[in-house]
Structure 1
Amino acid sequence: MLLKPIERVEEISNDNFQKLHLQQKEPVILRNFVKGSAALTKWDYDYFKKVAGHHKVNLYGREDAFNDHATSPPVQKATFGEYLDMISSAPSELRLFLFNLLKIEPELKKDLVYNDPTGGKIVSWLPFMFFGGEGSSVRYHYDIDMSHIFLTQFKGVKRVLLFSQEQTPLLYKLPYNFHGVANLNNPADERYPALKYLKGWECDLQPGETLYIPSGYWHYIKYVTEGYSVSLRMLNESPMERLRGFRNIVITRRIDNTMRRLFNGRWLKYKLNQADNAANKAIEKLSKNSA
């Protein structure tokens, strides 16, 4: 696996962001995206427990717990305050996924300021929050709506790996799903030989930094420490990519759910076999090209 570091920029003009990153689908870390936000100093676990600790939340577990599902189901429930106590006291695999805290407690939105390099195209009214314990991770996937993502870290450190859509055959993607099943922490695993051919990007995302993830990019996220982030989206400018996202949500995911109900384990076995076949063909093609 060949990974290169993601560039960090202190400031960038709208024109340069458009030319160098949006158009080129080149990830970048923006260091001033939330500069001036009260959240950088005001938000902490005690504050969250005070304003929203009583809310019930769904908790999600290990990244590989539900490989046969397009979306992993929650493994338990707790109050938000109880969850924050869990992750602040010990390492935990439990995560909060797409937590809409800023809708539940809209006053928190006032604590955020966005220095938008897209010229106002970011959907700032729909922020989601992600919380995770030290050592927890998110299975690698790409977002099915094909939007661009702006992921801002507010507490803790996240290890992020990114891969373009061109790398899909090497990632053991399951058909009719948007995730893969290999262990990216062990690229030398003989079970998944295609991993050693992967090319992508890597970073350790620090508090106050925002990672731009281009539309359709695979991302694997591991919580180096416990912490949380805020994610914003920018709709894809391509009508074809928006249509693809709509198809993923409305058609592809429903086909997978139906087939899983009808055939259960046989459906997963078929998908795993197809993922292996695609990876082996990609290896063969790369080997021929390098010969």
Structure 2
Amino acid sequence: MILSPVQKIKNISSQEFLRTYLKPAKPIILEDFADPESPAFKKWNYDYFKVIAGEQKVNIYGSEIESLDRVASKPIGQSTFADYLDLITSSPTEHRLFLFNLLSIKPELKNDIHYRDVTDGKILKWLPFMFFGGEGSITRNHVDIDMSHVFITQFQGIKRIWLFPWEQSDLLYKLPYNFHSITNVKEPDYDAFPGLKYVKGYEAVIKPGETLYIPSGWWHYIQYETEGYSVSVRALPSSWLEKWRGFKNLVLIRHFDNMMRNVFKERWFRFKVGKAVRKANRAIKRQKL
């Protein structure tokens, strides 16, 4: 596996961003996508969150290794938001908050982030999500089900994100009818999954104030280097092929997979794993030609 660093830029025009990064689907770290003068950078912190939403109940997510047969892992428990924040600041933990809706619970917070929209109006500012995690927590290697472009801005802590283009799905052992890989790209087992030896991707390290652009359909594995949180906004897929994939994933494939898993249970998962391995083996042969 070969990883190249994602470059960082600032003061890029919309025209140049669309031509150089969005259209050719190339990841980049934007240093000024979120205006550094935004109120969020001045007043947001854990103590502030505890005051405005500390009693809010939150679903907590843990390791996803045990849920490889599912589109999305299930929560492992609940707590108050305040207790969760105390947890991640006291010690390393794999516990995360996934697609947290604090900005919906407290919609006035949306006004605290001012975007320098290099997409020329494509981002959905009204649909933000927050992600919190403890030091060492991870999100498995996956593709977003709706195939949107994603802009993820770090507000506290440091995240390390590995990115791989859609075209390498077979070498990554994509689980058929799902949107994640069955491999551990952080600690690759080249004997069990030799396709990983041919994978080429990118590595991004984002710090507070920086925004990573993840193109539509790109794989991403996320690790919290420290505890912290980020906010993501999306832009709809650009091409009709990406739009069709997103629609198919949301409306057809997800429900088909749930039905087959409920009917055939473990046999369905074994079938998908076998298919992933066969597709990877064919992809390996193409690499050797």
TM-score, normalising length from structure 2?
0.98
Give the gaps of 5 or more residues in structure 2.
Answer: none
- Classify the secondary structure of the residue corresponding to 2:274: helix
What is residue 172 of structure 1 aligned with on the other side?
173
Q: Distance in 1 between matches of 2:160 and 2:4?
A: 13
Kindly provide the amino acid, as one letter, of the partner of residue 44 in structure 1.
Answer: N
What is residue 195 of structure 2 aligned with on the other side?
194
**Does the Cα contact within 8 Å between 1:87 and 1:226 map onto a contact in 2?**
yes
Structure 1 moving runs of 4+ over 3 Å = none
- Give the CA RMSD over aligned residues: 0.9
Q: Distance in 1 between matches of 2:152 and 2:182?
A: 23
Kindly provide the amino acid, as one letter, of the partner of residue 231 in structure 1.
Answer: S
Q: Distance in 1 between matches of 2:117 and 2:2?
A: 31
Kindly provide the amino acid, as one letter, of the partner of residue 83 in structure 1.
Answer: Y
**Does the Cα contact within 8 Å between 1:188 and 1:196 map onto a contact in 2?**
no
Shift in Å, 1:241: 2.0
The aligned runs of 1:1-291 (5 Å cut-off) are 1-35=1-35, 36-287=37-288, 289=289
Shift in Å, 1:246: 1.1
- Classify the secondary structure of the residue corresponding to 2:93: coil
**Does the Cα contact within 8 Å between 2:6 and 2:202 map onto a contact in 1?**
yes
Shift in Å, 1:188: 4.7
- Classify the secondary structure of the residue corresponding to 1:97: strand
**Does the Cα contact within 8 Å between 2:217 and 2:242 map onto a contact in 1?**
no
Q: Distance in 2 between matches of 1:182 and 1:134?
A: 22
- Classify the secondary structure of the residue corresponding to 1:229: strand
1:126-183 Cα distance to aligned partner (Å, 9 max, x none): 1000000100000111111111000000001111000001111111111100001101
- Count of residue correspondences: 288
**Does the Cα contact within 8 Å between 1:61 and 1:95 map onto a contact in 2?**
yes
Q: Distance in 1 between matches of 2:119 and 2:279?
A: 36
Kindly provide the amino acid, as one letter, of the partner of residue 23 in structure 1.
Answer: K
Deviates more, 1:45-54 or 1:189-198: 189-198
Shift in Å, 1:271: 0.8
1:54-100 Cα distance to aligned partner (Å, 9 max, x none): 11011111031200101111110111111111101011111000011
% same residue = 54
- Classify the secondary structure of the residue corresponding to 2:238: coil
Kindly provide the amino acid, as one letter, of the partner of residue 45 in structure 2.
Answer: D
Q: Distance in 1 between matches of 2:4 and 2:12?
A: 21
Kindly provide the amino acid, as one letter, of the partner of residue 41 in structure 2.
Answer: L
Q: Distance in 1 between matches of 2:282 and 2:244?
A: 28
Give the gaps of 5 or more residues in structure 1.
Answer: none
- Classify the secondary structure of the residue corresponding to 2:127: strand
1:258-277 Cα distance to aligned partner (Å, 9 max, x none): 01000111111111111111
Kindly provide the amino acid, as one letter, of the partner of residue 8 in structure 2.
Answer: R
**Does the Cα contact within 8 Å between 1:132 and 1:228 map onto a contact in 2?**
yes
Q: Distance in 2 between matches of 1:284 and 1:160?
A: 28
